[in-house]
């Protein structure tokens, strides 16, 4: 645990008692503060009380008297589409609002660091797509190289729940826009921006607000080095703002599908190869095409961002390449589940929107596509340009019929359930094809979350593998 510094002897309210909220409450108490806890859910309240934490109802008229700060969990809206009543009350009372990310950056460096020969590093990764895989990949390569590394934030553990990083340790943080937007302190050593596609627009008041939230990691924090994906206009704009000139190697620009050349520092993926270009010449090259854990252009982009983050802290290309080659991938993200009678079964349940599903569809050849669930605005109409490799679609969930109407000439079957879709795809699939779960929809109509949906797919494939289908 990282004990929170700066609130000793003070009363601090914690709103939202999920993973990050409970970790924040414990860390505040460990640092000498009194944590006043609240969650709108009775079960969460009971769990906090069972830990000996103090409940404090923010709806009381005097709730914020003598309160030093309000720490808010990421899922609670503070501005759009409307502020939570407790946040509105805190703002009216003039109580500063922060979150566990802000507390982490204020507390992670301790006087012990003055005795270290090699200071700990913090690598923070954000973006719309690929940030989980990039974060896990950075963490994996560090561990493969024998470096002490911890993974936290929007993936793994809560940031205040990790151990204080020792000498030479590296903390890898995946940060969502929700987490970045409220943090009062943002000081990573290396910050990574993967890409930007529309998401969470109601929470941020539109596309511009969403980008502004991501941008805070770079504008407010001022990282020593920034690794910026430049495949979208927002990334190009951000890279342009951060660089002082063409040869400013505090910026590492990343691109896929196009070469980046010039006097600065860049990394790009082109025709399946990762290329590092620095000071006007090629510094390294890695063939990504045969790395099973990183299939497709979108994963090549993830590899470039991870490579850039690790080069920024001085790791050699040879060591990074070794870690890339034995990366198995993340569950539910282009996860190779099995190969049965020459047919690959791939779980990309994390593809919850059309953009991420498009990347999955482009990563494989002839596809038996399992899609559907609780469709998002626009459905899958935007996927028409990338469905050429789909032999047939097997549609499930609430939006199955709507998706069928948007598939144009692609053959489809309304299956309804995951079990029926896997059975039908298995029945039809031929050697050399891929049965791909890439739903392009939320999971909440049939599953608790995308992990539960992916797990159901994996279990059904395992049954087929055992000959039980």
Dihedral, CA of residue 172, residue 177, residue 182 and residue 184, to nearest 10: 40
With tokens 């590492």, the residue in question is 252
Backbone angles phi, psi at 238, to 5 degrees: -65, -45
Q: Which residues are annotated as a binding site for ATP?
A: 127-133
- Which is it for the CA torsion 204, 4, 97, 64, positive or negative? positive
What does each C-alpha distance from 401 to 319, 373, 386, 393, 409 come to in angstroms?
49, 10, 20, 12, 15
Q: Which residues contact 235 (CB under 8 A, 6 or more apart)?
A: 193, 195, 196, 228, 229
Is the CB of residue 229 less than 8 Å from the CB of residue 255?
yes
Radius of gyration of the chain measured on its C-alpha atoms: 23
Is the CB of residue 74 less than 8 Å from the CB of residue 155?
no
| Cα gap 323→143, rounded to integer Å | 9
Is the CB of residue 73 less than 8 Å from the CB of residue 103?
no
Return the SS3 of 312: helix
Q: Which residues contact 326 (CB under 8 A, 6 or more apart)?
A: 144, 293
469 prior amide bond cis, ω within 30: no
Contacts 24+ apart (CB under 8 A), 334-341: 334/295, 334/296, 334/298, 334/299, 334/360, 334/363, 335/454, 335/458, 336/292, 336/293, 336/295, 337/457, 337/458, 337/461, 337/462, 338/461, 338/462, 338/464, 338/465, 340/426, 340/461, 340/464, 340/465, 341/431
For residue 288, give the H/E element and its range: none
- Cα 302 to chain centroid distance, Å, stands at 11
The string over 211-221, giving b where at least 16 C-beta atoms fall within 10 Å of a residue's C-beta and e elsewhere, is: bbbbbbbbeeb
| Cα gap 359→32, rounded to integer Å | 47
How is residue 14 written in tokens?
């914690």
How is residue 320 written in tokens?
């990074």
Is the CB of residue 206 less than 8 Å from the CB of residue 220?
no
Q: Which residues are annotated as a binding site?
A: 127-133
Cα angle at 264 between 262 and 269, to 5 degrees?
Answer: 70
């Amino acid at each position: 645990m990282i004990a929170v510094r700066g609130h000793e002897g003070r009363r601090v309210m914690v709103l939202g008692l999920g993973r990050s909220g409970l970790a924040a409450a414990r860390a505040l108490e460990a640092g000498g503060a009194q944590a006043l806890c609240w969650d709108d859910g009775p079960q969460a309240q009971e769990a906090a009380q069972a830990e000996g934490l103090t409940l404090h109802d923010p709806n009381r008229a005097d709730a914020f008297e003598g309160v030093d700060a309000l720490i808010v969990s990421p899922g609670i809206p503070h501005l759009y589409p409307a502020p939570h009543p407790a946040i509105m009350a805190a703002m009216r009372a003039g109580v500063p609002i922060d979150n566990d990310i802000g507390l982490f950056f204020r507390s992670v460096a301790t006087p012990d660091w003055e005795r270290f020969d090699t200071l700990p590093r913090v690598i923070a990764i954000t973006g719309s797509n690929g940030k989980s895989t990039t974060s896990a990949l950075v963490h994996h390569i560090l561990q493969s190289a024998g470096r002490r590394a911890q993974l936290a934030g929007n993936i793994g553990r809560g940031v205040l729940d990790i151990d204080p990083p020792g000498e030479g340790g590296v903390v890898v943080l995946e940060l969502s826009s929700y987490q970045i937007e409220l943090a009062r302190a943002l000081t990573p050593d290396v910050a990574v921006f993967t890409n930007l596609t529309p998401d969470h627009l109601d929470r941020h008041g539109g596309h511009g607000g969403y980008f502004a939230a991501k941008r805070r990691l770079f504008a407010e924090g001022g990282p020593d080095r920034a690794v910026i994906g430049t495949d979208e206009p927002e990334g190009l704009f951000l890279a342009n703002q951060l660089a002082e000139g063409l040869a400013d190697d505090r910026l590492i620009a990343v691109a896929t599908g196009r070469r980046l050349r010039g006097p600065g520092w860049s990394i790009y993926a082109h025709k399946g190869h990762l290329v590092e270009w620095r000071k006007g010449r090629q510094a390294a090259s890695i063939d990504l095409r045969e790395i099973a854990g990183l299939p497709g252009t979108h994963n090549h982009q993830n590899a470039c961002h991870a490579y850039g983050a690790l080069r920024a802290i001085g790791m050699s290309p040879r060591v990074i390449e070794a870690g890339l080659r034995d990366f198995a991938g993340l569950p539910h993200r282009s996860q190779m589940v099995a190969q049965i009678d020459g047919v690959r079964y791939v779980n990309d349940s994390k593809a919850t929107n059309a953009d991420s599903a498009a990347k999955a569809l482009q990563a494989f050849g002839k596809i038996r596509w399992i899609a559907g669930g609780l469709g998002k605005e626009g459905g899958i109409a935007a996927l028409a340009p990338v469905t050429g490799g789909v032999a047939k679609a097997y549609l499930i969930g609430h939006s199955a019929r709507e998706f069928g109407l948007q598939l144009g000439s692609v053959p489809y079957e309304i299956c309804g359930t995951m079990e029926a879709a896997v059975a039908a795809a298995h029945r039809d699939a031929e050697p050399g094809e891929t049965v791909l779960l890439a739903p392009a929809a939320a999971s909440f109509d049939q599953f608790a979350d995308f992990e539960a949906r992916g797990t159901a797919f994996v279990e059904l494939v395992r049954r087929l593998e055992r000959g039980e289908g």
